[in-house]
Structure 1
Amino acid sequence: MKKIALLVLFISLLGCKKDYTPENKIKEDVTFLADDKLEGRETGTKGEQEAAAYIVKRFEEMGIPGKGTNNYYQTFTFKPKNDPHGEVAYTENSQDSTITGTNVLGYIDNQAENTIIIGAHYDHLGYGGEGSLYKGEKAIHNGADDNASGVAVMLDLAGKLKGVNTANNYLFMAFSGEEMGLLGSNYFAKNPTIDSKAVSYMINMDMVGRLKPDSTLAVYGTGTSPIFKQVLSSHNEKFKLIENESGVGPSDHTSFYLIDIPVLHFFTGQHEDYHKPGDDSEKLNYEGMETISNYIFDVITDLNDNGKLAFRKTKNESEETPRFKVGLGVVPDYLYDGEGMRIDGVSEDKPAHKAGLQKGDVVIKLGDSTVTNMMSYMRALSVFDSGDSTKVTVKRDGKPLEVNLNF
């Protein structure tokens, strides 16, 4: 009798499914995805496939099933664009001239009417290629901030949302092909594995790994639903928020905005290692990433009982962006909200470097034009051609400095 009782107890224990307890594995996830072994996770490469398998393993650890076309995976095959402004050509057949990318999808099905999509791209530049801003010898571009950071926060949110805020379903997506033109998210938007009409809103994280000491956090898409600004503000205790209403931008949220889904895109700003081999895991602010994850979780929690959010079209600021033939060779500080355009990095042997401009300088005048913000800076830059000379005035340590500059 005692043996039978022990056997029943053993079978009962086997049948008990252990609930997943959320763990902060943000640093662990970034460290794996940004390791040299993955060779920069370029779309279609072995390194990207290894990254995809790792993300699947993480979903499985959390007990989150797949929602792709083949379990967790949604593959798409395409011919690389010859014309950078042209449309990508997706194809059903793999050929020598094609590349196959792989989206990775996990799904929490709460039997709810609506679904929230939470995404981040996991591909990067491999050994550089056309997207690289590095001019040295061939080197791996690990993309720790861009965008292992976003994937790590996405996975962190997946763990936190398991079994809570059950008024919505959650689709977690790691996109492929972002660096080649938002290809993975674009493909999903045209070939969704869930009813896209039942998507309440989409959250995108792209480069959220370098929160600065002033805690500046950019949030794009705040105008795509009337409720966003109020909710973002009511839960913000730690950030200096820079808000942008437009749903169109150079990341995967754009693909969802274009099919009338409200979007929020989180971003901690560019830096000198952007699209260079120096974007490594040891340079990230992991406490900052956890704080961002907690903030996004609070926003999702607030919106849990709001049903399907109303969508609102926003002005496409990219259509108003002036086109220019020359550049200063600087990385602008996109999170700067003072007057002028603050320089966050200077490329060697470019006009700004040769003129003696430095990181931290704030451009307040270019030629005859006063620079008050990013848009006025671009307008001022658009009038120059290669070979032109002009004067540029910057503020350095609070004092104006005028230098000569040759394009």
Structure 2
Amino acid sequence: MKNILPLLFLLTILSCKTEKPKAVSLKEDVAILANDSLRGRETGSYGELMAAGYLQQRMEDIGLQPKGKKGTYLQTFTFKPRTDPHSEVQFVTGDSTITGTNVIGYIDNRAEKTVIIGAHYDHLGLGGEGSLYREGAAIHNGADDNASGVSVMLKLAKRLQDSLNGSNYLFVAFSGEEMGLLGSNYFTKNPTIDLSKANYMINMDMVGRLREDKTLSISGTGTTPIWPQVLNSTNTGFKLVLNESGIGPSDHTSFYLQNIPVLHLFTGQHEDYHKPTDDYEKLNYEGMGMISNYIYEIIKELDDDPKLTFKKTKNESEEVPRFKVALGVVPDYLFDGKGMRIDGISDDKPAQKAGLKKGDVVIQLGDSLVTDMMSYMRALSTFEEGNVTKVIIDREGKKVEVGVKF
């Protein structure tokens, strides 16, 4: 039934244009976008086009103006898949191409500045490159990644439609993020608004798994001097983990590279990331509502302020070492203590064979002390396949030493 009911709801919404639109909850939006019938929303697929149609209708029902191509909500872009992962994507037409579709709505308050709010709606389809599932093709519904962000974006659009008017508001559901930020890259190079009026961009990517301690990661906090003050003054109970860099593995990067201040909100990795088990039943919808309210308060705080000043940040990705081996763990990126806390263990990898567990905190790898993610990565980069070393972990307050073979 979980595969049929959301689809029936989708068809009802798309067919009842003459009736007053039904109020749609966060959970209903996610249940539709993460439904098996959309087959993982891979860029250019029929499932993604179905999702784009749903988002277009939702924006219309909310009352957003179309801001895609030629008076529509849609902005299509065509590209050739990359054969070299280090090459830049080519937006072209012709044979052997894929067409992605951004969905764009707008609130025009005739203001001098525009706030851009975005989230990607594509996912991995049946798996393939990027999937962490090793048992063949399966539908990757991507409820947290990133139906969660899209649903929060739509909730904000509804709320902003009838409230704040100190800015214009552009809402973009991006395609092609999983293939390399393609939709946001294309939009910033082919904007449907005057980007010189863009005040800042807020990106929501994986905001559906807020933990009990309410830890919320926010990146881009160094892209304008006022961000830390605003984020702390409007905070109503989150444990904030702030990261200054404007560059990261999500769509805010495309806007940072256009000298626009950005924020990226993220509730953390989990064991269902890039797997078929990332389903809508597992999301924390109360937490998503809290995040929506928090973003609204941030926007409200800045509503009457002058346009923000852009500031370049250190590109932390340039400092990431290259690895010849993998330990086989999912780091807890929200951990703000000393060391690298393990949030998941991959099957049949060195960490599992050594007896490491979720929740263990790596404090030493070989002869190198581990104080944070960067020191962990530097230590890991020194090893090659076949090397044997020790790992010292903090397990529930006790130091434990294990041997690991890469």
TM-score, normalised relative to structure 1: 0.94
8 Å Cα contact 1:22-1:160 kept in structure 2? no
Q: CA deviation at 1:54?
A: 0.6
Aligned to 1:159: 158
Secondary structure of 1:177's counterpart equals: coil
The answer as to 2:397 corresponding to 1:398 is: yes
Distance 1:98 1:394 in 2: 48
8 Å Cα contact 2:174-2:183 kept in structure 1? yes
Deviations 1:299-348 (A, max 9, x none): 00000011211100000011111111111111000000000000000000
Aligned to 2:80: 79
Deviations 1:250-283 (A, max 9, x none): 0000000000000000000000110011100000
AA of the residue aligned to 1:78: F
Distance 1:402 1:293 in 2: 43
Distance 1:234 1:21 in 2: 36
Q: CA deviation at 1:237?
A: 1.9
Aligned to 2:143: 144
Aligned to 1:64: 64
AA of the residue aligned to 2:379: A
Aligned to 1:373: 372
The answer as to 2:30 corresponding to 1:30 is: yes
8 Å Cα contact 2:21-2:61 kept in structure 1? no
8 Å Cα contact 1:387-1:406 kept in structure 2? yes
Aligned to 1:314: 313
Residues 101-112 of structure 1: matches in 2 within 5 Å? 101-112=100-111
8 Å Cα contact 2:215-2:267 kept in structure 1? yes
Please say which structure displays the higher CA radius of gyration.
1
Distance 2:167 2:111 in 1: 5
Secondary structure of 2:126's counterpart equals: coil
Distance 2:23 2:108 in 1: 21
Distance 1:98 1:359 in 2: 42
Aligned to 2:203: 204
Residues 7-18 of structure 1: matches in 2 within 5 Å? none
Distance 1:316 1:111 in 2: 35
Distance 2:54 2:80 in 1: 26
Aligned to 1:49: 49
Deviations 1:84-114 (A, max 9, x none): 11100111x242x110000000000011111
Distance 1:193 1:60 in 2: 17
Distance 2:22 2:304 in 1: 22
Distance 1:63 1:130 in 2: 37
Aligned to 1:278: 277
Residues 194-273 of structure 1: matches in 2 within 5 Å? 194-273=193-272
Residues 346-357 of structure 1: matches in 2 within 5 Å? 346-357=345-356
Secondary structure of 1:211's counterpart equals: coil
TM-score, normalised relative to structure 2: 0.94
Secondary structure of 1:378's counterpart equals: helix
Deviations 1:6-40 (A, max 9, x none): xxxxxxxxxxxxxx999561111000000000000
Distance 1:215 1:22 in 2: 31
Deviations 1:128-164 (A, max 9, x none): 0111011113210000000000000000000010032
Percent sequence identity over aligned pairs: 68
8 Å Cα contact 1:21-1:159 kept in structure 2? no
Once the two structures are overlaid, the 10-residue window that deviates more, 173-182 or 393-402, is: 393-402
Q: How many residues align?
A: 387
AA of the residue aligned to 1:38: L
Secondary structure of 1:279's counterpart equals: coil
- Which runs of 5 or more residues in structure 2 are unaligned? 1-19
AA of the residue aligned to 2:33: L
8 Å Cα contact 2:363-2:370 kept in structure 1? yes
Secondary structure of 1:301's counterpart equals: helix
8 Å Cα contact 1:23-1:159 kept in structure 2? no
- Which runs of 5 or more residues in structure 1 are unaligned? 1-19
Q: CA deviation at 1:384?
A: 0.4
AA of the residue aligned to 1:33: L
Distance 1:170 1:269 in 2: 27
8 Å Cα contact 1:145-1:209 kept in structure 2? yes
The answer as to 2:192 corresponding to 1:193 is: yes
8 Å Cα contact 1:247-1:316 kept in structure 2? yes
Distance 1:116 1:386 in 2: 48
Aligned to 1:114: 113
Would the alpha carbon gap of residues 320 and 310 (structure 1) be closer, same or farther in structure 2, given more than 3 Å must change?
A: same
8 Å Cα contact 2:31-2:280 kept in structure 1? yes
Aligned to 1:90: 91
RMSD (Å), alpha carbons = 1.3
AA of the residue aligned to 1:56: Q
Would the alpha carbon gap of residues 301 and 24 (structure 1) be closer, same or farther in structure 2, given more than 3 Å must change?
A: farther
8 Å Cα contact 1:23-1:156 kept in structure 2? no
Aligned to 1:3: none
AA of the residue aligned to 1:313: K
Q: CA deviation at 1:60?
A: 1.1
Deviations 1:168-218 (A, max 9, x none): 000000000000000000000101011111100000000000000010000
Aligned to 2:9: none
